[in-house]
Amino acid sequence: KIKQILPNIHVKAFTAVELDFMIKKAHMNLEDGLIKLKEYGLNSIPGGGAEIFEAEIRKKVCHEKSTAEQWLGIHEAAHNAGIPSNATILYGHLENHKNRIEHLEKLRNLQDKTNGFNTFIPLKFKMANNTLSYLGEVNTLEDLKMFAVSRIYLDNFKHIKAYWPMLGKDVSQIALSFGVDDIDGTIDDSTKIYSMAGAKDQKPTMTTNELVELVKTAGKKPVERDTIYNVVREY
């Protein structure tokens, strides 16, 4: 129905966890389900649900979600069906540096195989309103290390994204000098997850002009992109 009304819109929808659930509920195999969704207008999928791939930690952090192998398998199948995707990691909780690198390695290996990932997005664990609140949060230096190491290690990913409602505007601006080339995005209080988890900015908003100025002040050139990183406008 969306494509009938707006045939030229790019539909990025359904995490691997959601795809796993809905395709099984429809009694279809993964490949057929993805092909059918593509036929009906699905253009790409987000990277949510990856969390952390290390099995024992994953059980503690998100036991109800698909396994790491299932997540990777769904993204591989999507890439093979011509559906690109994003990739993520949730860092700063129970995992250690070794677990993070192992997570990145699995993503890099899959990207070598399919070249289907558009971007990688490190997502910071925020402590409010969840059962792991006692852990606290990693500091800004650790955030910047995460982005820098991701940029170095994921040499086959074209883009590394910093989600500014998660990090805050100031840290996101600094991250542009630590491997990040994409700050997402222009929103008007539409993202609740990080507000609920204790983000500094409880009602995150940023206009296009504010975003352009933030990038310019960091000494970078602002470029507007579409979902799959085609250049729309240069500032």
pLDDT at 215 over 70: yes
pLDDT of residue 29: 96
* pLDDT of 186 over the 80 cut: no
Q: What is the set of domains in the chain, with CATH numbers? A: 2-234 (3.20.20.70)
Question: Looking at residue 202, what is its pLDDT?
Answer: 53
In the structure, what pLDDT confidence band is assigned to residue 205 with cuts at 50, 70 and 90?
A: confident
Q: What is the mean pLDDT of the chain?
A: 92
Looking at residue 127, its pLDDT comes to 86
pTM given for the model: 0.91
pLDDT confidence bin for 223, thresholds 50/70/90:
very high
- Above 70 in pLDDT, residue 187? no
Between 28 and 195, the higher pLDDT residue: 28
Asked if pLDDT for residue 204 goes beyond 90, the answer is no
Q: Name the percent of the chain lying above pLDDT 70.
A: 92
Three-state SS string over the chain comes to CHHHHCCCCCCECCCHHHHHHHHHHCCCCHHHHHHHHHHCCCCEECCCCCCCCCHHHHHHHHCCCCCHHHHHHHHHHHHHCCCCEEEEEEECCCCCHHHHHHHHHHHHHHHHHHCCEEEEEEEECCCCCCCCHHHCCCCHHHHHHHHHHHHHHCCCCCCEEEEHHHHCHHHHHHHCCCCCCEEECCCECCCCHHHHCCCCCCCCECCHHHHHHHHHHCCCCCEEECCCCCEEEEC
Q: What is the mean pLDDT of residues 143-153?
A: 99
Mean pLDDT of 90-119: 98
